Structure 1
Amino acid sequence: MANSIHKFLLLICGLFLHITLFGENAPRISILLDKGWGYKPITDNKKDAPLIPVTIPHTWNARYQVGTTKYNRELMVYKRNVIIGEEMKNKRLFLYFEGVNSVADVFVNNQTVGQHLGGYTAFCFEITDYVRIGDNVLEVWANNAYRTDVLPISGDFNVYGGIHRPCSLIVTEKNCISPVFYASPGVFIHQKSITSEKAVFTVETILSLKESKRALRLCTKVCDTTGKVIAKDVVNVTGERVEQPMHILKPILWNGKENPYLYDVIVELYDGGKLVDRVTQKTGFRYFKVDHDKGFYLNGKLLDLHGFCRHEDFAGKGSALTSKEYDIDMKLIKEVGATAMRLVHYPHAETMYNLCDENGIILWTEIPLCGPGGFDFTGYLNNKGLKDNARQAVKELVYQKYNHPSICFWGIFNELLVTDNRRFQAYDSPIFFVKELNKLYKSLDTSRLTTFATCVDETNFLGGADLVAWNKYFNWKIAEKAAGQFFDNVKANSQNYPVGVSEYGAAGSIYQHTCPFENVELARRIHPEEYQAICHEGYWLAFIERPYLWGKFIWQFSDTQSFFRRDGDMDGINDKGNITYDRKTKKDAFYFYKANWSQEPVLYLCSRRFTERTNPGTQVKVYSNLDEAVLYINNKKIGKCKKDKINRMIWNDITLLPGKNVIRVESMKGQQVFSDTCTWNLKL
């Protein structure tokens, strides 16, 4: 009975969608298949086994089992019904999946449609010959088990199983702009020569033609933000690949956060006078370079690239994120004043790239070739399956994200080990394959730079990318001196390849605190929030003295799940984030960077969560981009302090009184008063 009602509701919804969408006489229809799904384990795939109802995007292992970090990687079966109406007769139908982790087998009416290896890139299958008018059964087997031929095979993060990104049914005419060319838009804007005087580019379109093409024409228009057509080209179609050289005089450049200006590139396919397909892509015109000594230039001007490494991982959601979670993250990225982000360690969902385009955030994005992440193997295996999957991932990443102006860097790998006969022994060498992937990137896209994130001597990989970047961690006591010496040495040995920082940081728990700081040795499970902040201060002191660093990416944006971790205040969590896993609490380190990166006035009292104390001796530290502030304790004026070169104000040798101590700082900017308050309780 329940299944009958479920199918009836799907039929009604499907008919409503068809009437509404096709009534618009649009040349291409995309129907979101988010509702009406159910899933069950493959081990319970009996005909009468009930499905657990879910909405896509979905993952089955976003949460650990209570009291454990049990990490469930298995095969799940997803099913739903799809109604194909009479109005779809003589049309072409495609199933588009933005991501199914990690291997997807797709069936329609019990017939095999196709398989896709890899959970972080999109894929698209034509199902025209598999469906019938009326009710159809769509089935997806999502296999999240470990495989040596599917990336990633290691890493310090959880791989969430399921249809964790959106799925759509695309309906087109017989002749169309191809949805199946690496599941890309089928339209690529090649930026040839970009200046403030003239933007020269070529629009390449991949077509899929099933009928006579004698009367086909391709019309491509470029529109500004008002909708005005500022460039147009019309060409007769003679094959399935069409290139249209175009230019714009006096373009408004996409200029990062200063002006993330986007144009619409509209490609229309006509059969005689009839419009049969249309694809619109947003893009921005810009040019950039990296200098070995001075860093990153955007449109001819220096731009300091600083930001975070971000995983697609949100408390309670795993990687099955909705627009709400993306908006939360982008709001935080903007608040802190980041100019760039590294999307780790796999291609992210399309929404994130769109938001970075719209908000002017420079991106490094990469394929899932990563390791070791705490595992007892390297992350690279010298076998054909893994290499084929990596090559496929490069092609899908480049083609699917090609038109995003925010992307300036393609990433090849993260932390692949190389045998050094000391720490790392007898691993398959990835060096030749890294160089092969670099050549593949460059063959697909000559306009962007390639890079990698290494944790072993970068000289092994020189020649394997345009840029060098290091994942490097030092403890709080030595961070400034050690980081400065290390990166100066890396630069000296880089053979003029520009050097950046792909990861740096420290763990920090909002529930663990300590003060004073001297001569304290930390156990593995103790990650005081204060030490995380001090470590970041040391790194930043080193980095601001080294403008040659082309990018500085903090590990990491937020805390994330990592099932094998047993440290900090909770098992299964990597707590190096500057924000908690649920995004509800910004740690002290977040405000340190906000004070140094943001133009918004900042006045923030550190150690505010260290409320219960037993030692009367302490310091009061404030992060602020204001010039100076006055400290009060229990309304008694303690004194004034000016900010230092990394926007700290520190009052040392403060003695707390037994009981309640209300800590308050005040500052002024013009006529505006800023203040911040917290309370510390001293129990002797």
Structure 2
Amino acid sequence: MIKIRLTGQWEHHRGSLGGPWEVWRQDKLQNHYNVPWHAVELPHTYNGLDVLDPDGKYYQGQGWYRTKLQADNPYPQGRTLLHFEGAGQRTDVYVYTNKVGSHLGGYDEFTVDITEAAAEARGIERYQGLIPVAVACDNSRELETIPSDASDFNLYGGIYRYLNLVYVPAVSLERVHVEPKLSDDHSSCRVAVRAVLYNPENLQDEVTLKVVIRNREGQELAQFQLREKPWTGMKELAVTELANPTLWTTDEPYLYSCEVVLESAYGRTEQVERFGARSFEFVKSGPFKLNGERLLLRGTHRHEDHAGVGPAMTEEMIRTEMQLIKDMGANFIRLGHYQQSRIVLDLCDELGILVWEEIPWCRGGLGGEQYKQQCRDMLTAMIEQHYNHPSVILWGLGNENDWECDFDYFDQEEIRKFMKELHELSHKLDPSRLTAIRRCEFCKDIIDVYSPSIWAGWYRGIYTDYEESSRQAFENVDSFFHMEWGADNLATRHVEKTYTGFEFIKSGDGDTDERDGDYLLTGGEPRVSRDGDWSETYFCEMIDWYLKSQEKMDWLTGAAQWAFKDFATPVRPDSPIPYLNMKGIIERDFTKKEAYYVYQSYWTTKPMARIYGHTMPVRWGAEGELKSFKVYSNCTEAELFLNGVSLGVKRRDSQNFPAAGLRWESALKPGMNQVKVVATKDGVTVTDELSFEYQTEAWGQPAELKLNSKKQEDGNILVEAVAYDASGVRCLDALNFVRFGVTGDGKLIDRQGTVRGSSLIQLTNGRARIVIDPVGGAAASVPVTGFVSAGGPAASLAASGTKHEPVSIVSVASAGLPTAFLTI
């Protein structure tokens, strides 16, 4: 088998066409009926930016891709395939105008055989032997498909995972499954190897197969050879016993390999699959065990979503994200709410991260037969395609299936009936793993592992309710696993005193489940999500409480925070950054928030220490007022220095909330202050330090915005807007929405879903920032004339054809405040 990633030489048109002929007609009818195309690299989505346009709904419709392939299959009678690792949400594939395949579903892999169509297209003289390929993707709204548009994530369109050109012999391996099963005492592991052939011509020439099992070091442990007539369906090829296997664990994820080689008169193909020897158990009314030992599952969640590119993340981006998750100390991840890239699963195997992966039956209700069949198909594809990954322990069958929305009927019994069907299908396809769902109380008795909705301290209740709520839920099911908890937090927003809602919010009765509408910022009962400050400060305190509580909950299987990274969503237009779910531990561009280090302080062993407030350049209060300093660290003890003077040594105690006892109080001097911590663990010393300004001047209501700028190393310019009152004092708690604009040569780098990449955003501690590309605007190659400069008349920068230095006028506006301008 030969596999080639097709990343370059693609063109894209966002919009509908009358059919595939319109992709190519301008090649024949030159200068007529031109369709606008622009060059792109795969992976690509046509919703990379517009999902975060603050002024409009993102595009849902058709998008076309085209290329001309150099296809040279070296195998006699070989098959030429296009292998899609994921494209959304409906995909039609054409060779010239010949439709060669279709796929429904935005998240599972699929393959299209283009052999005969490519041979035919090769004869089109104007393409000189190249193969014209067109792909139509469509993410239009359709009720009878999953996921629902009521889901808290965007339904992206495009070829947003890798696309591969694959050459295989006429008879080849299509899929290999490796099933390892440990003995009860873990002294041996039975390994069964099965395979499916790809043989579209139904050829019957005998084939030779070789199966080789190797350990991680490459040493051969077992080999089998056999000759067979081609078969249909899944066939067992070999069974062997591994004595004293090295177990796969989250700390030491040991991987074996299984190589299957098929040779025939038509050529040779091989497939290498990795596998791990491990067992797991959700103890009935008890904890989780991996390889017979209790393991507290410490987890997070992942959406395929990134600044500027949406789900079209490169392999390098995915690797960066997964390493950040592991470095934070996580040993578990739920892939919400759909099958994700094979790269993600490979990395979970390598890094030691256990997985709950699910199909996108998410909210909305239950549709008709087409709807159900798509659920069946996607569940089957997910299990078959990710069967060999030792990291996977749970197949998710749905999420929030109690959320009525898409249909004018909602039948709980029908949902129960279909959930039972999916549960049985999952166990038929893969008896070795368990099924799970989150938040559908009337189905919790059907599946193996259940997560109720517990959002203590955000959507309902207060965060000190967490343990009681979890215990009540634990006692109502056989296998409890807490998925989704956390709080929205706008990066770089900090407060001196957090809003907790303890005085106003009903608490103490275990009533902490999220309900429909709780995510809205108006209406309903008092709740932190509606009335709180959405600060990193509160988020860190809440996490701190949850994590210190989990350490003592010896019955707990585990819990996973929602979600690792901020992500775009169509259902949150009123967020401080519109259309952003900002519950992330990191920003959408991998920038770490303070919460990242809170997790490290509980979950990692490598010595670390982090003083809270690195992105808080100004603190405030009265002169002489005692201020708190918190250090998040896993070290045994730490000493804090303020302006060079020791504030004493503290010993870490995880149950001493907050900050595990690593907190100090002292007065600050007006102006600049410096804080440093020196922490030790097992003879290793680590340090951290930061500087900040202390403002003692009180302020009134914001009266004006002022702009300043700073050139960045990459040549871009960071522009900052700061709110001041009528006396010129910074308003450090101002929450105004501000909007940036630019006129001239420059371009806002916006719609990124970050605090430096959003043209409409709430102030964080009285400031907002955005990055400007000084030469990237539409006018970059055209002289700018007749624009208004700050405080002056229209100015003309250049006459036609005259070169000039790039100049832009940046503006920032907020309701009730005068617009500010800055020339850069």
Name the TM-score, length of structure 2 as normaliser. Answer: 0.73
1:25 aligns with none
Query: Is 1:202 paired with 2:188?
Result: no
Of 601, 625, 636, the match for 1:627: 636
1:607 corresponds to which residue? 613
Between 290-299 and 648-657, the greater mean CA deviation after superposition: 648-657
* 1:513 partnered with 2:491: no
Question: 1:588 maps to what in 2?
Answer: 594
Q: Which residue number in structure 2 is paired with residue 501 of structure 1? A: 482
CA distance in 2, matches of 1:211, 1:552: 49
Which residue type is aligned with residue 2 of structure 2? I
Q: Secondary structure in 1 aligned to 2:117?
A: coil
SS at match of 2:693: strand
Which residue of structure 2 lines up, in the alignment, with residue 375 of structure 1? none
Q: Distance in 2 between matches of 1:601 and 1:668?
A: 7
Q: Secondary structure at the match of 1:648?
A: helix
> CA, structure 1 residues 452+363, in 2 after alignment: closer, same or farther (shift >3 Å)?
same
Match of 1:383 among 368, 372, 378: 368
Q: Is the 8 A contact 1:621 1:648 kept in 2?
A: no
Aligned to 1:413, the other structure's residue is in SS state strand
Q: 1:542-561 to 2 correspondence within 5 Å?
A: 542-561=549-568
User: In the alignment, is the contact (CA less than 8 A) between 1:191 and 1:447 conserved in 2?
Assistant: no
2-structure distance, mates of 1:387, 1:365: 19
Q: Does 1:100 align with 2:73?
A: no
Measure the CA separation in 2 of the matches of 1:283 and 1:113.
Answer: 34
The code of the aligned residue for 1:42 comes to G
In structure 2, distance between residues paired with 1:83 and 1:533: 54
Runs of 5+ consecutive residues of structure 2 not aligned to the other structure? 26-33, 123-128, 505-527, 697-824
Aligned to 2:13: 40
For residues 463 and 293 of structure 1, what CA distance do their matches in structure 2 show? 14
Q: Which secondary structure does the structure 2 equivalent of 1:358 belong to? A: helix
Contact 1:187 1:206 in 2 (8 A): yes
- 1:462 maps to what in 2? 444
The one of 642, 654, 673 aligned to 2:666: 654
Deviations along 1:547-592, whole A, 9 cap, x unmatched? Answer: 32222111110111113324553111111001111112x2222111
Contact in 1 for aligned 2:188/2:245 (Cα 8 Å): no
| Aligned equivalent of 1:540, options 531, 537, 547 | 547
Which of 401, 416, 427 matches 2:410?
427
Structure 2 equivalent of residue 6 of structure 1: none
* Structure 2: distance between partners of 1:654 and 1:431: 58
Higher Rg of the two aligned structures: 2
Q: For residue 578 of structure 1, what is the amino acid of its counterpart?
A: I
Question: How far off is 1:480 after superposition?
Answer: 4.3
Q: Which residue of structure 2 lines up, in the alignment, with residue 339 of structure 1?
A: 331
After TM superposition, the score normalised by the length of structure 1 is 0.87
Output the CA distance in 1 between the equivalents of 2:49 and 2:249.
Answer: 36
Counterparts of 1:312-323 in structure 2, within 5 Å, are 312-323=304-315
Match of 2:387 in 1: 402
Q: 1:640 to 1:225 in 2, by over 3 A?
A: closer
**Does the 8 A contact of 1:256 with 1:362 survive in 2?**
no
Distance change (3 Å), C-alpha of 1:625 and 1:96: same
Distance 2:247 2:333 in 1: 17
Note closer, same or farther for the CA distance 1:254–1:152 as it changes in structure 2 (3 Å cut): farther
**Correspondence list, 1:351-390, <5 A:** 351-371=343-363, 379-390=364-375
Bigger mean CA deviation after superposition, 211-220 or 336-345? 211-220
- Deviations 1:590-637 (Å, cap 9, x if unpaired)? 111101000111211113323323324431111111122222221222
2:228 aligns to what?
237
Any idea what SS the aligned residue of 2:428 has?
A: helix
Report SS of the residue matched to 1:499: coil
Aligned-residue Cα RMSD (Å) equals: 2.5
Match of 1:156 in 2: 152
Contact 1:508–1:568 at 8 Å: present in 2 too?
no
- Residue aligning to 2:259: 266
Match of 1:124 in 2: 111
Q: Residue 362 of structure 2 aligns to a residue in which SS?
A: coil
Contact 2:187 2:245 in 1 (8 A): no
Counterpart in the other structure of 1:109: 96
Distance in 2, matches of 1:357 and 1:519, equals 39
Query: In the alignment, is the contact (CA less than 8 A) between 1:411 and 1:451 conserved in 2?
Result: yes
Q: Which amino acid aligns with 2:346?
A: N
Identify the match of residue 252 of structure 1 among 228, 245, 253: 245
**What is the CA distance between 1:176 and its match in structure 2?**
1.4
Are the aligned partners of 2:539 and 2:595 in contact in 1 as well (CA < 8 Å)? yes
1:451 equivalenced with 2:444 (yes/no): no
Task: Name the CA shift for 1:207/1:671 in 2 (closer, same or farther; >3 Å).
Answer: closer
Q: Return the alpha-carbon distance in structure 2 between the equivalents of residues 493 and 672 of structure 1.
A: 45
Question: Compared with structure 1, are the counterparts of its residues 117 and 192 closer, same or farther at alpha carbon in structure 2 (3 Å cutoff)?
Answer: same
**Partners in 2 of 1:668 and 1:581 — Cα distance?**
33
> Measured at CA, do residues 87 and 670 of structure 1 come closer, stay the same or move farther in structure 2, by a change above 3 Å?
closer
* Cα distance in 1 for residues equivalent to 2:682 and 2:470: 40
- Superposition deviation, residue 651 in structure 1: 3.4
Which residue number corresponds to residue 468 of structure 2?
485
Q: Could you report, residue by residue, the CA deviation over 1:357-392 in whole angstroms, capped at 9, with x for unpaired residues?
A: 111111111111112xxxxxxx22331121111111
Structure 1 gap ranges (5+): 1-27, 179-185, 372-378
* Aligned-pair CA distance for 1:52: 1.1
Q: Is the 8 A contact 2:75 2:169 kept in 1?
A: no
User: Deviation at 1:267?
Assistant: 1.2
Aligned residue for 2:333, secondary structure, equals strand
- Choose 633-642 or 43-52, whichever is displaced more: 43-52
Change (3 A) 1:75 1:86: closer
Does residue 82 of structure 1 match 2:69?
yes
Task: Measure the CA separation in 2 of the matches of 1:519 and 1:360.
Answer: 36
Alignment correspondent of 2:791: none
- Shift of the 90–603 alpha-carbon distance from structure 1 to 2, 3 Å rule, reads same
What letter is aligned with 1:190? E
Write the letter of the residue equivalent to 1:34.
T
Specify whether residues 69 and 562 from structure 1 end up closer, same or farther in structure 2 by C-alpha distance, changes over 3 A only: farther
Alpha-carbon deviation of 1:671?
A: 5.0
For 1:37-57, what per-residue CA distance to the aligned partner results, in whole angstroms no more than 9, with x for missing partners? 111133466442132111110
The aligned residue for residue 644 of structure 1 is 653
Give the alignment partner of residue 218 of structure 1, picking from 206, 209, 212.
Answer: 209
In the aligned structure 2, how far is the partner of 1:216 from the partner of 1:595? 56
Aligned in 2, Cα 1:349/1:212: closer, same or farther, shift over 3 Å?
Answer: closer
Distance 1:190 1:673, change over 3 A: closer
